[in-house]
Amino acid sequence: MNRSYVALGSNLGDREQHIDDALIELALLAHYGTVRCSPFYETDPMGPQNQPAYVNAVCVFDTTLDPFELLAELQRIESIQGRQRGRERWSSRPLDLDLLLYGQRRIVTERLTVPHVGIAERSFVLQPLADLDPGLVIPGVGAVTDLLPRCQQFGIRRLHLRDEKSIHRD
């Protein structure tokens, strides 16, 4: 069993609905169907500025899938929610799912890098990670609470209608 942290992002269409739908799909992959999600944040775009603001969150769950199987599942969930691959890097998308952490594993391959390459630099990833798990240490990188004040600060605003929740599926 491996504890996986997945970043969720959306900046097209009903952004919060896309993330809610993805959480249900992720719950189907999770051991006991339990996914714990951070609060949702509205965040200024990293990359091209002529795109709408994102909604970002991070979730955590235990899985028996290996990391490559999990990546394939994340890409399948992105594609059922209308993500077109092969577009400009960092451009608008209805759903982006990134595998941030997979247990204590460090993986560097062409298809998959874990911890995720951007993890230490993005406030819209570190803040929800710290919300979920304030004591989290990123293997080979450091503690989230140390990284957060030093990372690039994209404007992030906590969305008040959402709060921490778990999804349980039988």
In Å, how far are 117, 139, 146 from 22, measured between CA atoms? Answer: 22, 26, 29
- Joined together, the tokens standing for residue 71 give 């990546």
- Joined together, the tokens standing for residue 89 give 């890097």
Residues 1-20 that bind ligand A4P (CB under 6 A): 9
Given the residues 14, 62, 85, 93, the one annotated as active site: 93
Which of these ranges, 93-101, 119-127, 148-156, 161-169, lies near Mg ion under the rule CB under 5 A? 93-101
Interface with Mg ion (CB under 5 A), residue total 2
- Please answer whether residues 156 and 42 qualify as being in contact, where contact means their C-beta atoms are separated by less than 8 angstroms: yes
96 is catalytic: yes
Would you give the DSSP letter of residue 122?
B
With tokens 């960092």, the residue in question is 90
Given the residues 15, 96, 122, 131, the one annotated as active site: 96
98 is catalytic: yes
**What distance separates the 2 farthest-apart alpha carbons in the chain?**
42
Given the residues 20, 21, 66, 83, the one annotated as active site: 83
Catalytic positions, written as ranges: 83, 93, 96, 98
Kindly list the residues in this chain that would bind ligand A4P in the complex (CB under 6 A): 9, 43-47, 54, 56, 71, 85, 89-90, 96, 98-99, 111-114, 116, 118, 124, 154
